Amino acid sequence: MSARLSTNDLEAYWMPFTANRQYKKAPRLLVSAERTHYTSDDGRRILDGTSGLWCVDAGHCRPKIIEAIRAQVGELDFAGSFQIGHPKAFECASKLVNIAPPGFDHVFFTNSGSESVETALKMAIAYHRAKGNATKVRLIGRERGYHGVNFGGTSVGGIANNRKMFGPLLSGVDHIRHTHDLSRNAFSRGEPEHGAELADDLERLVALHDASTIAAVIVEPVACSTGVLIPPKGYLKRLAAICAKHDILLIFDEVITAFGRLGTPFGADYFGVFPDLITTAKGLTNGTVPMGAVLVKKEVHEAFMQGPEDVIDFFHGYTYSGHPVSCAAAIGTLETYKEEGLLTRAAELAPIGRKASTRSKGCPHILDIRNIGLIGAIELEPIPGEPSKRAYNAFVEASTEALLVRSTGDIIAMSPPLIIEKQEIDQLIDILSGVLKAAA
């Protein structure tokens, strides 16, 4: 059967986060991939400027990961994780703990970033109850935050379009303000100079709700899905200090920033700020098999390990938590990262990426260029009366020019695989600059 599909062949699949009717009139189909490139159904090689969907950190179709999956599915295709286990889950958890920030001694497996967030939020509320603080049930997110699409993650998330169709969502949720400030921080190099004081907005919510009601604050170290919003210098440390002061758990959503994206194993390492829980997914298996994990500090874990030993300590989990094939994929991925030095390679590439992206500065309609580690964003001036259209048009045009990027609002986001070479970074920026100039 040909890789090309007729319109009727496309109808059955309701695609996520997609303008389905528009897409199916002019579908863009990818049929194979290798290292830093996709191949489209019409035979074009397309440079992957987004690591798939922020997840293919080690590049596509890597041999060690493929072989790990192939061997595992032929040996043990499934084993449950409720009151029984299999060796790969324990091996995978140990390997994760070995690269985790200090103090993170335990791992709870999930199947996605959304599930990791739900798990961490439930852990936070249950932790306080286990400690005798049953009134601490309120959850605090941040404006423009993205924490997946389940009810808990959508509730603490702060992207309006992700929330507005789904009613009141969870009760007992509030939000601190975002950190984006073009008037003071446009064209910053790395962390912006201004805005650490924005962390103090948490004190406003403490005064409003009282600390005795607040269980946790959840933020992304870098708010990627909303357009790569980099925290101001000192902001995360200030936020962590306020949480500690009021006995509020701090959750870092590192579904994107974990596994080398900033040039360190975790974003917590990069910023030198260590929360109580860390959510992960995406790069954990290099995007090959769905999997997520919550990294848990010893103090949080120990709160659940009280009472009779024969009683379930946390009434939560998923059928596929710690799935054998997912664990094998994760082990192969972590070994690939280690052997190729990928958890720190972004630190070497960051100056190259920053220098390359400045070539776009002279393009029309650019309001800001942001870079940190191997993540970048170009913020565009909206077309009057048509928000998001300028960036979406650039995304479509770039795909025709053999480059895959992301558009979110009027922002173009880039997060290429960590194996990308200097000449490919130059190619990425050259194509995107040409697209932006032509769109003037």
Residues 371 and 332 in one domain: no
Read off the pTM.
0.97
- Asked which of 295, 318, 340 is the last residue of a domain, the reply is 340
Residues 154 and 79 placed together within one structural domain of the fold: yes
Residue 2 inside a domain? The answer is no
Q: Choose one of 340, 363, 392: the last residue of a domain.
A: 340
DSSP string, 298-341: HHHHHHHS-S-TTS-S-----TTTT-HHHHHHHHHHHHHHHHHT
**Where in the sequence is the domain holding 312, given as residue range(s)?**
65-340
Q: What is the pLDDT of residue 165?
A: 96
Q: How far apart are CA 169 and CA 254, in angstroms?
A: 23
With respect to residue 360, please indicate whether it lies within any of the assigned structural domains: yes
Instruction: List pLDDT tens digits, range 159-213.
Output: 999 999 999 999 999 999 999 999 999 999 999 999 999 999 999 999 999 999 9
Residues 325 and 359 in one domain: no
Q: Please indicate, yes or no, if residue 380 is contained in any of the structural domains.
A: yes
Query: Is 194 a domain residue?
Result: yes
Q: Report yes or no on 308 lying in a domain.
A: yes
Angle formed by the axes of helices 63-75 and 324-340, to 10°? Answer: 160
Residue 1 lies inside a defined structural domain of this protein = no
* 397 lies in the same domain as 335: no
- Answer yes or no: is pLDDT of 7 > 80: no
246, part of any domain = yes
Domain count across the chain: 2
**Which pLDDT tens digit goes with each residue over 255-303?**
999 999 999 999 999 999 999 999 999 999 999 999 999 999 999 999 9
| CA neighbor of 397 nearest in space, from 420, 373, 421, 363 | 363
Strand order through the sheet with 104-110: 104-110, 292-297, 277-280, 249-253, 214-219, 138-142, 173-176
Amino acid letter, 137: V
> Looking at the structure, do residues 77 and 43 belong to the same domain, yes or no?
no
Residues 162 and 31 in one domain: no
Residues 6+ apart with CB under 8 A from 201: 176, 177
Give the residue from 279, 310, 340 where a domain finishes. 340
Q: pLDDT band at 439, cuts 50/70/90? A: confident
Contact 294, 34 (CB under 8 A): no
Strand, helix or coil for residue 434: helix
Tell me, yes or no, whether 207 and 140 share the same domain.
Answer: yes
Give the angle subtended at the CA of 329 by the CAs of 326 and 330, to the nearest 5°. 85
CA–CA gap between residue 340 and residue 247 (Å, rounded): 40
Q: What pLDDT is stored for residue 3 in this prediction?
A: 56
For residue 408, the domain's CATH number is 3.90.1150.10
Q: Is residue 265 part of a domain?
A: yes
